[in-house]
Each structure stands twice: as structure tokens, then as C-alpha cells.
């Protein structure tokens, strides 16, 4: 039967399928209330996809906690291509689908699914149809969103239907097609088409009014009577009532059989019939009121029909059904589903079932299903008789909820724990959890105090854990942007309760820094910062921040390379993201924009694969160095005071000094250096010196120079000496300081800093009336800064050259001017010798997408081969 009133929606769906037929794949999310017609549009997509291989999946309200359950439904028909996948991806799929033991890597799973579908699409186009996406498990939703964003050059179309886009955050950024109610005329036409006899006008108008444009309501309300006064409940609820009305006249054994079908979301007859036989209702299939179809799969006529059947059953009937399904489920191949059914069959606490659920939680966690682990543990808590075990499981559930991002649920669970009855180690765990919850809540400043409280409880019997907790409090304060004023308090508490270790560690170094100053702490800090030491592996972000404070960028670059190596070996998305962010930061400081853009694209690819927003600080530094005011300030505003605040203000100060807005630079630099933190302010001090000098505030400039000199003299690096020298020149106006800066930085790979030294010296020479010498310095500055992408500072050099009577040639277009960020990444990888498959694996796209990028790159750069890319000057450092 033709759909009525859906021409626009059908056109959008048909266009998507047609584009996929031409290898221009894409995705579409159909959003609307239950019964509005989303499933009919999915059926239309299948009808339009003649010649396609159609892959189907559906979210299940009962399987939301089982990781990758929906993705497994979708991929079963294409698993024949699994053997052709590279080893890591093949193993990732096997682990995700429970075919092998291990911890799945979400971005490897996403890429593997992309490989599976693009391999299938080489034979014929592929249509993925996903219904009830609001009930997808989180892991499947992330993998499907990853897939949907990467099929633009493949013969793959993805259509998902969900009730509200806000219920599936991973799918929230995909193209959306809202499906609204039918107009009155279309609603009347639908009624007329489905009723063999004309309806009385008043009856028809009443039905149209009650249905409120919902097609399923139009068809179901007459079956439920449809003539009562409209209830206050929603249309979907009234539709459920219609389905329940169909149940009312069925025999009890038929209703019980339907309840078995509703409680098993897999639709597997191999589970249904043994459970039904155990309940004595295996033969009750004659009359199901059209609610369910028993075949190769068990299918309800609509998801609301399943809900209506399940909710209509009594509690005792549901428990009996779940018990029968648990007995019918294989404990070896599906232990988690069996344990879940057993849990639902319990009328009261049962320590045996609770223990099974605890094992399920451990298995789910090992497969990356943190949300599933939390759900199993929550149910285990409810079934626990033993008070000690209940408290332990509650704390474990709280920790799992926090890790899964469900911090409010974690807070609710934590409130049920009687902390007074806990021993010190468990009370410390509770305090650590409270600290993590507080850190996640804007405006809640109690995170450090809870974490310090935990450290104090641990100090007497687990001093190493106590010292770790103190460092957690410091590091997390920086990460969430609440370090101002609390680091000193944390270190004071640590000195009071944490005994000094036999060998100095980072906490001891920071305490020494606080008590005796930068110089006294420096040998200890360098000791804990040694290459490949525990600080690199356990706290790489903190190690990188400290190396920056030491003006030791060689160590920072080494940490980035180490992170990249270890991240690739381990497959850790966190390490890879930190590595690419640090690599991008280092590239900005070296003035290698192509590498900075490529590393940024790679970090974004990993972030997208695991469903996280991209990291911000390296992108902020890139924009600030380039003098892009709006982009920089937008990123600062988006940060909203979160993250390493000193870094945010440092980038803002760099931007404003570059564009010559020194008053704004002074404000930002003061914010970066005046927040009271023990460290992580040194990089902003040169910006404070220049801004204060330009704003005629010599006292501010002198104090900043003194603080900078203390750090850089102790650190003893050429970079520190050079930057301090040109900062000192700004304060003293002495030529020798500028000369020292130029000489100290002469061999530095950090072109922006070298360029600024030449710029400041050239400005001084111009003011001194030494025209020939100033031109040499200013041209050098302009060349270095332009090549570095430091456009605002290059603009200042150009202005000074014009003031000296010299013209400035326009900068030739660079690679990064002509290519997108991802195209830069593809071009650099190919130029380095990577194959299309290797590039696809690194950037988490399909090989066909890489080849499409290459065609665009060849056209934009005027090259015709990979060899020419290798020799292109804009693609090498």
C-alpha cells in the first residue's frame, strides 16, 4: 500500500539510496514519536534499494546494556569478509562479538566494520537499516555513527530510526529527517484507504483528532474502541493500550506465549520454543491477534506491541518467563544473557544470582562494556543479601557508572552506601568517587578536598596509593580547569600526612618546588622526568606540561613520539589522542603547519572513533599562532574555563601580542600567570613581558622578567636563554640582549621563536636609525614567521619593513592553504610512502575515501603521481 502524505520524506530516503548506488554513500536518521511512520520509511528504503544487500538491526530495550549486541545483528551477513581484514581489526571484531577473549578497541572495531561493509559493497551496494536506534547499546551506536560518517565515497547507505535524537548522543550529529504527524486531509485519506466501508463523518473526525496525525494511532484506535474522550496520556501510550486491548480476548496460554516472545529480544526460535515448552504453552500459536509472527525469526508487528505485551503481564508471569528463558539459554555461549534472565526471574535477594551478575560485569568490562558492567553490578547490588558484598558491589557499580559517564546515577548509588560501616580503604574509594563526581560538575569545587580526604585515609596503610591520590587531585585540578589556589593546599596536605619516599618521586619534587623554589626542585623534577620513566607512562599529560615549564621542548617532543609508539602498540585511544595533540603542539612551536594540521586530523579521527569531542588546546595554539582572532576566541569561549586554564590564557595572550592588541594580551597573560598555581605559567611569561612593555607598565614587565629569568637560568636550555634575552631587551632596551637572543636561537628548530627574536631586534634597529641592519633582521623575521604560519607576527614584520621603505612580496600559497586538514594528513602520509590501505587504517576512513582524497589532492597541487607528492616541498618538515 502506498504511503500517504510522505512524499518529501520518501524523496529524501530515495535520494540517499540513489547516491549510494553511485558510490556516494551517506546516512540519514529518521526521528519521530512511536507510530509516526519511521518503520514504514525504513521499508520504503528497502523497497527503493533494489539490487542492494540489505543489513538489518534493531535496538532492544532489554539489550541496551550488552555491548555490540546490535552491531553484531547488523554484521552477521557480512562476516564472511572477516578473514580479509588486517589482523588487529579482525581480532577487534572477534572480541567485540564475543568470539574471542580480550578488550575491544572501539576505533579498531569501527574501522573493521567499515572494512566489512565496504568489502561487501564491492560486490553490490549495501543498505543498513536500523530500527529503534534509541535503544542501541552505546558501543553499537558509536560504531554505527563512526561508520555513517565515513561512507561518503562508498556504495553504502545507512538509515536509522529513533524516537528522539537526544536519546542517542553518538548519532546526534548525523543528518536528521524529522518525521511529523500527518495533516488532517492525509489522515482522512489513510482512514478511507484502510476501511472498506465509509466512516461516519463525526466518527472519522473524532478518530483524526484523537490520533493527532499519528498513522499507527489512526489504524489502532478503532480496534481499541476509539470513541472515548481523549485521555491525558500520549498518543504512543494510547497505541499501547490498543495493542493491550487485542490481548484481552486471548486465552491465558496464548498471552503467556506472547510474553515469552516479548521477553526475548533476540527473536531466536531456538530459545523461544524450549522456554515455551517448559511453561507448557508451546502449542498456543493459533491466535496471536496479529501481534507477532512466528517464523525463522520471531517478529512483533511493532515495537510498541512488544512493550504492550510485556507490560501487560503480571510480575509472577514475567518472572516465570525469564526463568524459562534462562534455562533455555546456553551458559557457555551466552552467559551474560542467561544471568540477566536469571536476575529478572528473582522475586527477592539471591546471592548466587548476584555473584553471577558480578562475573558478567567483569566480562562486560573486559570487552569494553563499562555501561553494561555498571548495569550488571547495579542489579547485583539489589539481589545481594550479604551487607559486606552489597557495599563492595555498590562501590564497584559507582566506579563503573563514573567511567561510563553516568555521574548522576553514580551519585545516587553512592548515597545508598553506609560509609560509617566501611573500613578505611573502602571509605577512601568512596571519597575518591565523590571527588571524581565533583570534578565532573560545573561549579562544584569540592573535588580536590574529597580526593585529599581519600589520600589521608590511605596514608597510614597504603602510602603509595595515598601519594597517587594527591597527584590525582593536582592533575585533575588542571585538567578540569580548577587548579587556581588549590595546588598549594594539596601539597601542604601531602607534606603533612604522606611520608617521604626512599627515592624522590614527582610529588616530593613538587613539594620541594613549593617550599624551596624552582632551582632546588629542578634536579628532582628532571629525575622523575627521565625518558621512558613511570611519569611518562602513568601521567603523560602531566609529564608533558612539566617539560614545557622547564623550557625543555626536546623532552616534550620525545614524550609525544614515545606516546605515539606506545599508543600504536597498545591501541590505546587515550594515548594516541595525547600523542597526536602533543605532536601537533610541537609542530606549531617548530612552525611546521603541515605536520600540525595532519596531527590534528589524526587526533580528531581517533576522537571521532571513540565518540569523544576533539582535544582543544593544540587547536587553540594553532589558531593563536596563525593570528586567527575569531577562531582562537571561539575556542577559548568553548572551553568555558575547563581544561588547563593557564594554557587557554597563554594562547590568547600569544594571539593578542601577534595582532598588536597589547592591552588584551596583558589581560590574558596576567590571567595565565596570576592564578596562583605552582607551575605551568612559564610559557606565558614572555607574553606578559612584551604586553606590559607595550602598555607602559614597567613594574609588571620587570616582575615577569624576574620570574622568567629564575626559571630559564635554572633550566639552562638554549631556548630559555634566547627567549629570556629578547624579553630582557624589551625591558632594558640594550642591543646586546637582542643580539644574545638571536645568537642563542640561531640553531633552534623553533622557527616562530627565532622569527620573533629577529623581529624585536629589527624593530630596535629601525628605531635606532640603523636602516641597513634593520632590513636584514626584519626580512629574516618575515621569512621565518611566514614559513611558520605565524601570520600575525609576520604581518608585524611586514609593517616594519614598509616603515623602513621596503616592499613585501605576497607569500606564495602553501599546501595548507589549498588542502583541507584531512587532505593534508593524507598527502603527508602518502608522501612518506604509506599505501592507501595504511592511510585508511591510520585516519579511520575507507580505502575508497583515501583514493577520493588523493584525486582532489593531485588536482589542487597540480601533481599526477604519488612520487611527485613525495618530492613536494610543502609536505616535508
What whole-number distance in Å separates Cα of residue 565 and Cα of residue 604?
A: 18
Contacts of 597 (CB under 8 A, 6+ apart): 622, 816, 821, 824, 825
Closest residue by Cα to residue 434 from 398, 400, 485:
398
CATH of domain 7-178: 3.40.50.300
What whole-number distance in Å separates Cα of residue 799 and Cα of residue 805?
A: 10
DSSP 8-class letter at 169? G
pLDDT of residue 238: 66
Contact criterion met (CB below 8 Å) for 675 and 668: no
Q: Would you give the distance in Å from CA 723 to the centre of its chain?
A: 37
Residue 442: Cβ within 10 Å count: 10
Q: What stretches of 253-312 adopt beta strand conformation (E)?
A: 292-294, 298-300
Contacts of 636 (CB under 8 A, 6+ apart): 620, 648, 651, 652
Closest residue by Cα to residue 178 from 342, 28, 371:
28
**CA terminus-to-terminus distance, the chain:** 63
What whole-number distance in Å separates Cα of residue 220 and Cα of residue 224?
A: 7
pLDDT of residue 191: 77
Element (H, E) at 127: strand 126-131
Query: How would you classify the pairing of strands 176-178 and 26-31?
Result: parallel
Residue 515: Cβ within 10 Å count: 12
Q: Would you give the distance in Å from CA 486 to the centre of its chain?
A: 28
Closest residue by Cα to residue 174 from 198, 154, 158, 156:
158
Length of the chain: 877
Residue 495: Cβ within 10 Å count: 16
pLDDT of residue 197: 64
List the domain boundaries for the chain.
7-178, 184-230, 248-344, 716-811, 816-875
What whole-number distance in Å separates Cα of residue 226 and Cα of residue 248?
A: 16
Residues of the chain scoring pLDDT < 50 = 1, 167-168, 224-233, 877
Contact criterion met (CB below 8 Å) for 99 and 132: no
Contact criterion met (CB below 8 Å) for 587 and 572: no
| Secondary structure class of 415 (helix, strand, coil) | coil
Question: What is the 3 state secondary structure string of 492-555?
Answer: HHHHHHCCCCCCCCHHHHHHHHHHHCHHHHHHHHHHHCCCCCHHHHHCHHHHHHHHHHCCCHHH
DSSP 8-class letter at 295? S
CATH of domain 816-875: 1.10.10.10
What whole-number distance in Å separates Cα of residue 163 and Cα of residue 165?
A: 7
What whole-number distance in Å separates Cα of residue 467 and Cα of residue 535?
A: 13
Residue 352: Cβ within 10 Å count: 10
pLDDT of residue 229: 38
Instruction: Name the architecture of domain 716-811.
Output: Alpha Horseshoe (1.25)
Question: What is the 3 state secondary structure string of 65-94?
Answer: CCCCHHHHHHHHHHHHHHHHCCHHHHHHHH
Contacts of 816 (CB under 8 A, 6+ apart): 593, 594, 597, 789, 824, 874
| Secondary structure class of 130 (helix, strand, coil) | strand
What whole-number distance in Å separates Cα of residue 558 and Cα of residue 553?
A: 8
What whole-number distance in Å separates Cα of residue 209 and Cα of residue 214?
A: 10
What whole-number distance in Å separates Cα of residue 135 and Cα of residue 133?
A: 5
pLDDT of residue 664: 96
Contact criterion met (CB below 8 Å) for 64 and 268: no
Contact criterion met (CB below 8 Å) for 266 and 297: no
| Secondary structure class of 161 (helix, strand, coil) | strand
Angle at CA 10, nearest 5°, toward 7 and 12?
110
Conformational region of residue 844, where left means phi above 0, alpha means psi within -120 to 50, and beta covers everything else: left
What whole-number distance in Å separates Cα of residue 208 and Cα of residue 21?
A: 39
pLDDT of residue 168: 44
Residue 103: Cβ within 10 Å count: 12
Angle at CA 724, nearest 5°, toward 720 and 729?
155
Q: Would you give the distance in Å from CA 149 to the centre of its chain?
A: 14
Contact criterion met (CB below 8 Å) for 441 and 479: no
What whole-number distance in Å separates Cα of residue 816 and Cα of residue 479?
A: 31
pLDDT of residue 236: 61
651-656 long-range contacts, Cβ below 8 Å, gap at least 24? 651/617, 651/620, 651/621, 651/623, 651/624, 652/624, 653/684, 653/687, 653/688, 653/691, 654/621, 654/624, 654/625, 654/687, 655/623, 655/624, 655/627, 655/628, 655/629, 655/792, 656/691
Contact criterion met (CB below 8 Å) for 741 and 762: no
832-841 long-range contacts, Cβ below 8 Å, gap at least 24? 832/870, 833/870, 837/86, 840/111, 841/86, 841/89, 841/111
Where b means 16+ CB within 10 Å and e means fewer, 638-670 reads ebeeebbbbbbbbbbbbbbbbbebbebbbbbbb
Residue 322: Cβ within 10 Å count: 23
What whole-number distance in Å separates Cα of residue 210 and Cα of residue 221?
A: 8
Spatial strand order of the sheet with 176-178 comes to: 53-58, 126-131, 156-162, 26-31, 176-178
What whole-number distance in Å separates Cα of residue 754 and Cα of residue 656?
A: 19
| Secondary structure class of 383 (helix, strand, coil) | helix
Task: Tell me the Cα Rg of the chain.
Answer: 32
* CB-neighbour burial class of residue 746 (10 A; exposed 0-12, middle 13-18, buried 19+): exposed
Contact criterion met (CB below 8 Å) for 490 and 467: no
Amino acid at each position: 500500500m502506498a504511503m500517504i502524505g510522505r512524499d518529501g520524506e520518501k524523496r529524501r530516503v530515495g535520494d540517499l539510496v540513489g547516491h549510494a548506488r553511485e558510490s556516494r554513500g551517506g546516512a540519514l536518521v529518521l526521528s519521530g514519536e512511536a507510530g509516526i511512520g519511521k518503520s514504514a520509511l525504513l521499508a520504503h528504503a528497502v523497497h527503493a534499494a533494489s539490487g542492494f544487500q540489505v543489513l538489518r538491526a534493531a535496538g532492544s530495550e532489554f539489550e541496551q546494556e550488552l555491548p555490540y549486541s546490535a552491531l553484531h545483528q547488523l554484521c552477521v551477513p557480512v562476516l564472511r569478509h572477516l578473514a580479509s581484514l588486517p589482523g588487529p581489526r579482525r581480532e577487534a571484531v572477534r572480541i567485540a562479538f564475543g568470539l574471542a577473549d580480550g578488550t575491544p578497541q572501539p576505533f579498531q572495531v569501527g574501522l573493521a566494520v567499515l572494512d566489512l561493509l565496504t568489502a561487501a559493497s564491492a560486490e553490490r551496494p549495501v543498505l543498513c537499516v536500523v530500527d529503534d536506534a534509541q535503544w542501541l547499546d552505546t558501543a553499537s551506536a558509536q560504531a554505527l555513527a563512526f561508520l555513517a560518517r565515513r561512507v561518503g565515497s562508498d556504495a553504502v547507505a545507512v538509515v536509522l530510526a529513533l524516537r528522539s535524537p537526544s536519546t542517542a548522543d553518538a548519532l546526534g550529529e548525523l543528518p536528521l529527517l524529522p518525521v511529523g504527524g500527518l495533516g488532517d486531509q492525509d489522515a482522512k485519506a489513510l482512514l478511507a484507504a484502510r476501511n472498506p466501508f465509509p466512516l461516519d463523518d463525526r466518527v472519522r473526525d473524532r478518530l483524526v483528532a484523537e490520533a493527532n496525525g499519528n498513522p499507527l494511532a489512526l489504524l489502532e484506535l478503532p480496534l481499541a474502541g476509539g470513541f472515548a474522550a481523549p485521555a491525558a496520556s500520549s498518543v504512543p501510550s494510547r497505541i499501547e493500550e490498543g495493542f493491550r486491548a487485542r490481548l484481552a480476548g486471548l486465552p491465558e496460554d496464548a498471552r503467556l506465549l506472547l510474553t515469552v516472545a516479548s521477553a526475548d529480544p533476540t527473536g531466536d526460535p531456538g530459545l523461544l520454543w524450549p522456554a515455551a515448552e517448559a511453561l507448557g504453552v508451546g502449542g498456543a500459536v493459533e491466535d496471536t491477534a496479529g501481534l507477532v509472527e512466528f517464523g525463522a525469526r520471531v517478529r512483533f508487528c511493532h515495537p510498541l506491541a512488544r512493550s504492550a505485551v510485556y507490560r501487560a503481564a503480571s510480575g509472577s508471569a514475567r518472572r516465570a518467563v525469564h526463568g524459562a528463558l534462562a534455562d533455555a539459554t546456553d551458559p557457555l555461549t551466552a552467559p551474560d544473557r542467561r544471568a540477566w534472565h536469571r536476575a529478572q526471574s528473582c522475586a527477592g535477594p539471591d546471592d548466587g544470582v548476584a555473584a553471577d551478575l558480578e562475573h558478567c560485569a567483569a566480562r562486560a568490562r573486559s570487552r569494553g562494556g563499562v555501561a553494561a558492567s555498571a548495569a550488571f553490578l547495579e542489579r547485583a547490588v539489589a539481589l545481594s543479601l550479604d551487607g559486606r558484598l552489597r557495599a563492595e558491589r555498590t562501590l564497584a557499580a559507582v566506579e563503573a557508572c563514573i567511567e561510563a559517564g553516568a555521574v548522576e546515577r553514580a551519585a545516587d548509588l553512592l548515597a545508598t552506601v553506609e560509609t560509617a560501616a566501611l573500613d578505611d580503604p573502602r571509605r577512601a574509594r568512596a571519597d575518591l568517587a565523590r571527588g571524581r563526581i565533583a570534578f565532573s560538575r560545573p561549579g562544584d569545587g569540592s573535588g580536590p578536598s574529597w580526593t585529599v580526604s581519600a589520600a589521608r585515609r590511605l596514608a597510614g596503610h597504603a602510602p603509595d596509593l595515598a601519594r597517587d591520590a594527591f597527584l590525582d587531585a593536582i592533575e585533575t585540578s588542571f585538567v578540569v580547569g580548577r587548579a587556581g589556589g588549590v595546588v598549594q593546599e594539596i601539597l601542604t596536605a601531602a607534606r603533612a600526612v604522606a611520608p617521604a619516599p626512599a627515592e624522590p618521586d614527582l610529588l616530593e619534587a613538587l613539594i620541594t618546588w613549593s617550599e624551596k623554589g624552582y632551582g632546588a626542585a629542578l634536579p628532582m623534577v628532571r629525575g622523575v622526568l627521565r625518558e621512558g620513566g613511570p611519569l611518562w607512562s602513568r601521567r603523560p599529560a602531566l609529564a608533558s606540561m612539566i617539560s614545557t615549564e622547564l623550557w625543555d621542548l626536546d623532552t616534550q617532543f620525545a614524550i609525544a613520539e614515545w606516546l605515539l609508539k606506545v599508543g600504536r602498540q597498545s591501541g590505546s585511544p587515550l594515548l594516541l589522542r595525547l600523542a597526536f595533540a602533543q605532536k601537533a603542539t610541537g609542530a606549531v612551536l617548530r612552525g611546521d603547519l603541515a605536520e600540525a594540521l595532519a596531527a590534528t586530523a589524526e587526533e580528531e579521527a581517533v576522537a571521532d572513533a571513540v565518540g569523544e569531542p576533539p582535544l582543544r588546546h593544540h587547536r587553540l595554539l594553532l589558531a593563536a599562532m596563525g593570528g586567527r582572532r575569531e577562531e582562537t576566541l571561539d575556542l577559548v569561549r568553548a572551553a568555558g574555563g575547563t581544561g588547563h586554564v593557564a594554557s587557554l590564557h597563554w594562547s590568547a595572550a600569544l594571539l593578542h601580542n601577534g595582532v598588536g592588541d597589547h592591552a588584551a594580551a596583558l589581560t590574558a597573560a596576567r590571567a595565565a600567570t596570576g592564578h596562583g598555581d605552582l607551575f605551568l605559567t612559564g610559557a606565558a611569561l614572555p607574553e606578559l613581558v612584551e604586553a606590559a612593555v607595550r602598555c607602559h607598565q614597567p613594574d609588571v614587565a620587570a616582575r615577569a622578567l624576574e620570574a622568567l629569568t629564575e626559571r630559564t637560568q635554572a633550566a639552562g636550555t638554549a631556548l630559555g636563554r634566547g627567549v629570556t634575552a629578547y624579553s630582557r631587551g624589551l625591558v632594558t632596551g640594550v642591543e646586546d640582549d637582542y643580539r644574545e637572543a638571536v645568537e642563542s636561537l640561531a640553531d633552534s628548530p623553533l622557527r616562530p621563536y627565532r622569527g620573533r627574536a629577529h623581529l624585536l631586534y629589527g624593530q630596535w634597529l629601525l628605531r635606532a636609525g640603523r636602516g641597513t641592519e634593520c632590513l636584514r633582521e626584519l626580512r629574516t623575521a618575515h621569512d621565518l614567521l611566514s614559513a611558520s604560519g605565524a601570520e600575525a607576527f609576520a604581518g608585524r614584520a611586514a609593517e616594519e619593513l614598509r616603515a623602513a621603505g621596503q616592499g613585501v612580496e605576497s607569500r606564495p600559497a602553501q599546501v595548507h592553504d589549498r588542502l583541507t586538514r584531512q587532505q593534508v594528513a593524507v598527502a603527508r602520509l602518502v608522501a612518506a610512502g604509506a599505501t592507501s590501505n595504511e592511510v585508511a587504517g591510520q585516519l579511520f576512513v575507507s580505502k575508497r575515501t583515501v583514493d577520493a582524497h588523493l584525486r582532489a589532492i593531485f588536482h589542487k597541487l597540480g601533481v599526477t603521481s604519488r612520487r611527485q607528492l613525495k618530492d613536494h616541498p610543502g609536505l616535508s618538515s
